[in-house]
Chain A
């Protein structure tokens, strides 16, 4: 993996971590509910692991497809899938319904997995992985490395934001600062899909 790919992956990780809908806001809410910073920090690992699980599963599925199908076909397939998902995210608003405010760590990880999957977190990362690597061992190591870089960056962004909002800013900041990342997200997906088609 080259440096550019690693930086793009880290950037996407930070972007995902920045999105309140991906989990740091949930961690802040749980902290406020218990009035405890420890509760904020306790909530973050399951959230980040759920997100990483979603990314890894997406990469694993496409790796399997790459072992079975010609590279061009996989590239165009991924491009169509990622673009199509981005368009769908633009037109369709969804209100996920699963857990409430009282959640176990397992539920929190599951919620994060669903949110990441429903938003296409893994799909956005996918085109980066099409650039290099063939064969089972290469694909496995590349998927793991990709997930690791993305996840570490997401963890850093989400932890920093959760703590800054919990300790300093307060949730009132959301009213002005919570830009509609869903639209940005959808556009990013379409851009990632286009880049997959071009590489």
Chain B
């Protein structure tokens, strides 16, 4: 069915595109809030420059995140109307709550932050970027509550031909949220940390604005190292949880066709989806059992067994996700994360030895690794969403049942092409602006003690 395929492409493109900008804003808003707080507490003008420099880059990404987010909200109704009917009772609530608790705060206080320099007291100004940062993270929470229901439905009953909410507390305390939310937020912190590191490295290599970027590199290094460790820990915990909650997703991510005890970890595999086997694989014995259950002598169920169980439970059908892309996405995500860890540790080591700037090869490695967090974020989401197929809501609704029956392929083609072209043009504009401001570096803010302070400022500063 052409409409289904097109709608899936559209969802994939708009979601991945949206999520190119969101992780950076999740992390960078917090970094900026910290920088501005340091400025307010110490009065050090350099930190005001830091706030403004990173703030400018943040705003470009934030704008892109906001406008692509509007599409996200609307296309559930546009392309997936039967999903909206079936799930609206549950899914609409977190979306409405996201708007009520997060979007208003974000957008209103961001406006205050952008236009409020010298107009409101310093403490209030710093508070507004904290509010933006917390609201951004709160918004991620609500979206992940909604997404977690699709992965692991809780607190509902099937009534009146749809899923109805029976327990709101269960919805927001869905165990899935408590693995997915930290992992997603931490990936945002890492993305922002790497962004700061890479741009600082750029200037340290060229020896421009050295003091300024030394300070941000240091902050970025501590920030990224800590969040990367936590990110990997949360990823491990999430995988262990998925082994229990979504065994099919784990089996697909590992291309494990037959149940095995102990199960090996396949480092690489040539996957033959047609014959449901791997024609070649490099494996580490018992490693998967150890990773999933903390015990090398435990069984892991394979795709073929789980499929049999699903057929018995849900009737005849194909319940196997596209194994090859899920398998490789998972490996690319892990490899990107590991590469980031190596680079950050190498940079940290040289920093500690005081040799970082003398050995630009590591700084160059940092600079050229900027795509890594983006690759990891996109492939990570692909594992999450691709590994859930053929379900849109696991066990309740299949993707092909969710698509809008009243929307023809022609309409979807128009919107698919339209969005993609506009997204591409906007990406070019955004990249142009980001590289322009990165090259330019911090702009010296003239110290103007002659300018009378805004009314009320003396109360606070």
Does chain A bind chain B?
Answer: no
**Interface on A for B, CB 8 Å cutoff?**
none
**Interface on B for A, CB 8 Å cutoff?**
none
